[in-house]
Every structure is written in structure tokens, then in C-alpha cells.
Amino acid sequence: MTWGVVFFPGSNCDRDCVHVLRSVMGYPVVEVWHEDRSLDGIDALVLPGGFSYGDYLRSGAIAATAPVMRAVGELAARGAPVLGICNGFQILTEAGLLPGTLLHNASLRFRCHPAWVRVESDRTPFTAGLRPGMVLRMPVAHGEGAYFAPPAEVAALEEAGRVVFRYCDPLGRVTPEANPNGSVAGIAGVASDAGNVVGLMPHPERASEGLLGSIDGRRLFESVVGALVGAG
Amino acid sequence: MRAFRVTIMLKPGVLDAPGQAVERGLDALGYRVEQVRVGKVVEMILPEGERAGVDEICARFLANPLIETWTIEEIPAGAAP
């Protein structure tokens, strides 16, 4: 299978994602420029973290208007796995491919440290190889990561099993102290209605090599491979 | 051409972290302030005959209707940059 990683002006985790998918995991990776209009030949796509367009207007808002985003929407509509990490998550919400939005951290601080998340749903290609209740350790690094949606929408997401990850302590307990940014209901990641588009604030690509202290993040990418091979 | 000034504010109830930060700064300087809210101002000049309304531009791009409200005022065309 072939992965794609989209480069926006101001992306800064693009090389990390390419490194993990290509050098660590051994998959072909297409480096996609934000002005590209075709994603032909790409089976699964990653929108990496960073500060596209300097976070001007709102995080992700300007990147969501990039030419490549029409193709991203079409790829998502065809059911291909699409993962937005950090700024990539913000871009997907601004593009209307994921619900809700990300506000300034309640603490006003840029939070950059290891975090733990509990897998809440295995009905996405990125968690198909995991089990609900599993705890993953991945770093967070963001200033605007407080997930927000109106209460009725959050309730609908919960009901539909579209909350994919929730911040927790190392034992899997969802507590206010484990929530690094004030996200409503401790939500760290959500999925689209069909489940194939997922966004999360923590960085799986920074937790994909033993040398970096955790390989939990790699399991998201491995899940996709398993899901696609299983489906194919 | 016509010039517009759009003021975008977070909806009441949405956490305004920058507003709280400014409030604390004012407090540290000794000013008595009940509440501070921080928003954005966007000025733009539209060409004559532009069909898209300013409200549509706000709803679709300048603001996020999920969390923000906006007000539009027309300003003298010479006043915008």
C-alpha cells in the first residue's frame, strides 16, 4: 500500500511522518504538495502537524482552502483512511471533514509533553487493530488543542461511537488532570461519520520508534495496513 | 468599490483564553476590569458588482459559525487600507 503525506506551507511534522512510514515501516510514501490536485495511487493519507499559514485567521482555516483539499475530500468520500495529526486535525475540522473545532488551550500554555490516551473506538481504520480501553502513550505539542463542539453535537458523537481517543492517566482513567488542554469530555480524537477520517491532537509519528520512548503511535499506522489488507 | 469592517467575536460561553490572559495582564497592572473579550477585526474592499455578500464570506471563511459571531459595518472606501 502507498501512503501520502501532505505538505502545507508551515507544516513541520511532514518529514517526521514520511520518515516513520517510509524508513521505519518500509512503505512507499508520496510527498504531496498543497497545490497538487491529484491523489491518484494513494491508499491512505496523513495531514501532518505544524503551523500552516502561521495559524492566521484560525488554525487550519487557510490550509483548508488549499487546492489539494478538494482531492482530500474526494479521497475521504471514497472511504480511504485519512489521518489529521495536530494541525492536520485542525485543517480537517476547518474543511468540514471532521466535526467540531479546536480552541486555545484552557491553560493558555503551549503544552509539549508525553500524554496518554484511551482508545474509545475500534471502528476506524486507525484503531481497527486496537481494542477499546487500550492506553497509548504519545506526545502532545500544541497551543490550540481544546476540542470543542456544542453539547448536543458532543452527545451525538458519543452516541455514534465517533469519539476515538480520550486523554487519560497512565492507568486509563479519564481525569481533569490528564486533560492537557481543556478539551470537552477529554476528547483527544474524533472520526467522521463513516469512520475513515480521523483527527487527533497527539503525535503518533513521534511515538513510533523505541529510541523515542514509545512505539504506541506506530500501532495507528499498523492498524491501517491491517485494515486495508483485510479489506483487499 | 465598497469597504467593510467585520468584527468577529467568540460566542458567549465559548472559552476565550486570550481574553482571560489580557484580563490577567490588566489586573497585574492594577486596572480594575470586569471582563475582557478578544476578537478580530477584518477590513476589506469589494469591487463594484461583487455578488457574494459579506455575510456569506464571514459564514464560510472569516468566522467559524460553530464558535464565533460577527458584525458587519460599511465604512468609507477611503478609510480601508
CB contact under 8 A, A108 and B66: no
CB A5 within 8 A of CB A82: no
Please, which residues bridge with residue B71 across strands?
Answer: B7
Q: Rounded to an integer, what distance in angstroms lies between the CA atom of residue A89 and that of residue A66?
A: 15
Residue A127 C-alpha cell reads as: 484503531
Q: Rounded to an integer, what distance in angstroms lies between the CA atom of residue B19 and that of residue B36?
A: 5
Residue B51 C-alpha cell reads as: 455578488
Among A17, A86, A120, A168, the active-site one is A86
CB A17 within 8 A of CB A54: no
Topology of the domain covering A3-231: Rossmann fold (3.40.50)
Q: Rounded to an integer, what distance in angstroms lies between the CA atom of residue A93 and that of residue A82?
A: 13
CA angle A204, A50, A80 (to 5 degrees): 55
Q: Rounded to an integer, what distance in angstroms lies between the CA atom of residue A178 and that of residue A147?
A: 14
> Considering only CB atoms, which chain B residues are within 8 Å of A94?
64
Helical (H) or strand (E) element with A229: helix A218-231
* Chain B: closest CA distance from residue A161 (Å): 21
In this model, does residue B77 exceed pLDDT 90?
no
| Chain B: residue whose CA lies nearest to A102 | B67
Contacting residues for A59 by C-beta, under 8 A, at least 6 apart = A51, A87, A90, A94, A102, A144
Residue B48 C-alpha cell reads as: 463594484
- Using pLDDT thresholds of 50, 70 and 90, give the confidence band for residue B80: low
Q: What is the pLDDT of residue A232?
A: 52
Q: Does residue B25 sit at the A interface (CB-CB below 8 Å)?
A: no
| Chain B: residue whose CA lies nearest to A62 | B61
Q: pLDDT over 70 for what percent of chain A?
A: 99
- Using pLDDT thresholds of 50, 70 and 90, give the confidence band for residue B79: low
- Using pLDDT thresholds of 50, 70 and 90, give the confidence band for residue B81: low
* Identity of the residue in B18, B61, B66 whose CB atom sits nearest the CB atom of A104: B18
CB contact under 8 A, B66 and A149: yes
Q: What is the pLDDT of residue A226?
A: 87
User: Which parts of chain A register pLDDT below 50?
Assistant: none
| Distances in whole angstroms, Cα of residue A188 to Cα of each of A86, A138, A202 | 10, 11, 7
Q: pLDDT over 90 for what percent of chain B?
A: 77
Q: What is the CB-side half-sphere exposure of residue A211 using CA atoms within 13 A?
A: 2
Q: Rounded to an integer, what distance in angstroms lies between the CA atom of residue A117 and that of residue A44?
A: 23
pLDDT digits (tens, 9 = 90+) for B2-38: 899 999 999 998 989 899 999 999 999 999 999 999 9
> Considering only CB atoms, which chain A residues are within 8 Å of B14?
103, 148
* Chain A: closest CA distance from residue B17 (Å): 6
Secondary structure class of B30 (helix, strand, coil):
coil
> Considering only CB atoms, which chain A residues are within 8 Å of B15?
103-104, 106, 146, 148, 182
- Residue A205 a catalytic site member: yes
CB contact under 8 A, B66 and A61: no
DSSP-derived letter for residue A185 is G
Alpha helices by DSSP H, listed for A22-137, are: 68-77, 87-94
pTM for the predicted model, two decimal places: 0.94
CA angle A32, A38, A43 (to 5 degrees): 75
pLDDT digits (tens, 9 = 90+) for A50-83: 999 999 999 999 999 999 999 999 999 999 999 9
* Identity of the residue in A57, A58, A106 whose CB atom sits nearest the CB atom of B17: A106
CB atoms within 10 A of CB A200: 27
Length of chain A: 232
Q: What is the pLDDT of residue A144?
A: 96
- Residue A17 a catalytic site member: no
